[in-house]
Amino acid sequence: MKKWSLFVLLGAAMLLVGVLVLRTGGEGAAQARTGATPSAAEAEEAARVRAEIQNDPVAPTFAPKGYDVTLVMFTDYQCPYCRKVHPVLEELKRTDPKVRIVYRDWPIFGAPSVEAARAAIASTYQGKHAAFNDALMAMPGKVSSTGIRAAAGKAGVDWARLQADLKKHDDEIGEALGRTSKYAAMIGLSGTPALLVGPYLIPGAIDIAGLRQAVELARKDPAGTAAQ
């Protein structure tokens, strides 16, 4: 997906209640376009759906103590823009200790993407997701079974344990991928990457300055009222 600067307030079941345009890189001041104001019931449903996206029992999660903003990353290991956003997220983790990151694997580029996503999720059962995620994002070229195993070795993943966990947790991993696909459709995503920062959606890649701006917006306006 190409780079966007749109921040869309998440509604429920394709309900888009507002758009906030943040211009970075010297392109001008922030601008806002007002959408239809949601009813109390719609706002409550939007919050419920957002909470489900942000809190999945299987999705790998980085949760520092005392976090006050949750960022959800919809990602595919074969997506070149996801690979570009990865170091941006890592920089944010290093410089903002109050951002929680949820990795929603959305493997849309075929069987190798599915294989990598399942392996990445399974690595959480041995506490190796962070290192394995780094290694998978650094893979050159297209994803392959050989490349996945090489990345696992680089990350210190116990390969035999990984295979056992893939088998043991096959259903729950598959269900987690299914939930992510469902939510991506509800939001109206057409590709990866996509980042949900608090109540705001970034449908595409973003640089560190823009991401920090989004985090600050979510921190100051956790209900997304600025876009209504």
Answer yes or no: are the C-beta atoms of 5 and 196 closer than 8 Å.
no
d(CA 181, CA 228): 27
Domains of the chain: which residue ranges? 6-227
Region 3-7: mean pLDDT is 36
d(CA 76, CA 61): 16
CATH architecture under which domain 6-227 falls? 3-Layer(aba) Sandwich (3.40)
Question: What phi and psi values does residue 59 have, to the nearest 5 degrees?
Answer: -60, 130
**CA-CA-CA-CA torsion for 26, 29, 30, 36, nearest 10 degrees?**
-130
pLDDT in tens, 152-163: 999 999 999 999
d(CA 159, CA 222): 41
Residues in a beta bridge with 105: 75
pLDDT in tens, 96-127: 999 999 999 999 999 999 999 999 999 999 99
Residues in a beta bridge with 74: 104, 194
| CA atoms within 13 A of residue 45's CA, in its CB half-sphere | 13
| Whole-structure pTM value | 0.84
* pLDDT for res 20: 30
Of 47 and 126, which is predicted with more confidence?
126
pLDDT in tens, 173-228: 999 999 999 999 988 899 999 999 998 889 999 999 999 999 999 999 887 775 55
Residues in a beta bridge with 6: 21
d(CA 96, CA 62): 13
Say whether pLDDT at 23 is over 70.
no
43 pLDDT band (50/70/90 cuts)?
Answer: confident
Q: Lowest mean pLDDT: which of 15-29, 50-64, 85-99, 115-129?
A: 15-29
